Amino acid sequence: MRWLGLDVGASRVGVAVGDEAEGVVTALDPLPFASPEELAHRVAALAAEQGCGAVALGVPRTRRGTSRGERRVAAVARALGQFPELSLVLVDETGTTAEAEARLRAAGVPRRRWPALVDGVAATILLEDVFASRRRGGLTSLT
């Protein structure tokens, strides 16, 4: 099955596409974030274009309770619910941005280019984690 991975931020959304059978994940251009409903429509169109049947949506977790980011992602999840052709999995995205920055640093990408790339790399990591978890027998049910 082909998947989209989403790392939702305040102004843009990192996007990755991956094929679970092949284990290949690629970052795509970020999507703008204006509203949960608009994003859901963009994601549904992109999923159809890319042949994806599932979406992994990163959820930011904090120790202090519900954050603004968690509420934003919950609203996106509700909006994506209007597209029953897409299975949706909510995934803890803790550490994906830090790992994305580490990968960019290791690849020698100049720091000035990170803002344009970090969200897509974080979405890639998120989707790689989903595939690894499913290979280990986790995340077996899709909503």
Could you give the CA distance from residue 8 to residue 51 in angstroms, rounded to a whole number? 21
Residue 37 DSSP label: H
pLDDT of res. 51: 98
- Residue extents of the structural domains in the chain: 2-12+30-51+59-67+74-136
> pLDDT 10s per residue in the chain (143 long)?
999 999 998 899 999 999 999 989 999 999 999 999 999 999 999 999 999 999 999 998 766 666 788 899 999 999 999 999 999 999 999 899 999 999 999 999 999 999 999 999 999 999 999 999 999 987 644 44
Task: Give the three-class secondary structure for 51.
Answer: coil
> What local confidence, expressed as pLDDT, does residue 141 receive?
46
pLDDT score for 139: 63
Cα–Cα distance, 34 to 76 (Å, whole number): 11
Architecture of domain 2-12+30-51+59-67+74-136: 2-Layer Sandwich (3.30)
Amino acid at 123: A
C-alpha angle 25-42-11 in degrees, rounded to nearest 5: 85
Question: For the chain, how long is the longest CA-to-CA vector?
Answer: 41
